């Protein structure tokens, strides 16, 4: 899988393991990760890890779904910041339009809600996001992982094993 790339969008106060464990899993499978945040450089997780964004969200290409095999949206407080950024919303729409996998956990689906991509889809998310997920027209399911077409959703860190398993299946590596 040399040369394959995944895009991760996150920000300050990300849920640490929801960023780190799926990134580790993708790297294990030979993927190169581009991690984009509101500003490039170091930023901190809720629990205390430091992540390093190698690009800012503003530097994302116009149509990142052409360049990457997967869009990963970890949770924590990061998605509340990312959903304010047009380039982050545009990135999610690009992956959707091109039929490329999007994996969102915890608060990650907030970005997809703002992008208007969840209407009519089965989905899951963190408990505090359930109401807005439903208002966005999604069918909320309280399951460790929900797969809907090219989308993978999970609820919280305890779901990471199932979340990663379904991400790998989307990439034909499961």
User: Interface with a second copy includes 170 (CB under 8 A)?
Assistant: no
How far is the CA of 124 from the CAs of 76, 78, 132, in angstroms? 15, 18, 11
The footprint of a second copy on residues 40-59 (CB under 8 A) is 47-49
Q: How far is the CB of 105 from a second copy (least distance, A)?
A: 12
Give the span between the Cα atoms of 60 and 88, in whole angstroms: 8
What is the Cα–Cα distance from 113 to 20, expressed in whole angstroms?
23
Q: Is 107 a catalytic residue?
A: yes
Contact status, residue 132 vs residue 116, Cβ threshold 8 Å: no
Span near a second copy by CB under 8 A; candidates 3-11, 35-43, 62-70, 164-172:
164-172
The interface with a second copy within residues 143-162 (CB under 8 A) comprises 157, 160-162
- 166 C-beta neighbours (distance < 10 Å), count: 22
Catalytic residue among 87, 107, 121, 155: 107
Q: Which residues bind a second copy (CB under 8 A)?
A: 16-17, 20-21, 24-25, 27-28, 47-49, 157, 160-162, 164-165, 168
């Amino acid at each position: 899988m040399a040369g394959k790339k995944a895009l991760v969008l996150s920000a300050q106060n990300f849920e640490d393991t929801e960023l780190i464990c799926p990134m580790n899993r993708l790297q294990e499978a030979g993927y190169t990760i581009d991690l984009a945040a509101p500003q490039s450089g170091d930023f901190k997780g809720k629990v205390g890890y430091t992540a390093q964004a190698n690009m800012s969200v503003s530097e994302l290409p116009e149509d990142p779904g052409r360049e990457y095999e997967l869009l990963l949206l970890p949770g924590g407080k990061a998605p509340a910041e990312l959903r304010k950024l047009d380039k982050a919303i545009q990135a999610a729409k690009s992956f959707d339009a091109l039929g490329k996998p999007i994996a969102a956990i915890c608060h990650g689906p907030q970005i997809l809600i703002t992008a208007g991509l969840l209407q009519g889809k089965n989905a899951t998310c963190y408990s505090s996001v359930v109401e807005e997920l439903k208002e966005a027209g999604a069918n909320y399911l309280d399951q460790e992982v929900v797969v809907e077409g090219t989308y993978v959703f999970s609820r919280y860190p305890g779901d990471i094993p199932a979340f990663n398993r379904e991400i790998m299946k989307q990439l034909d590596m499961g």
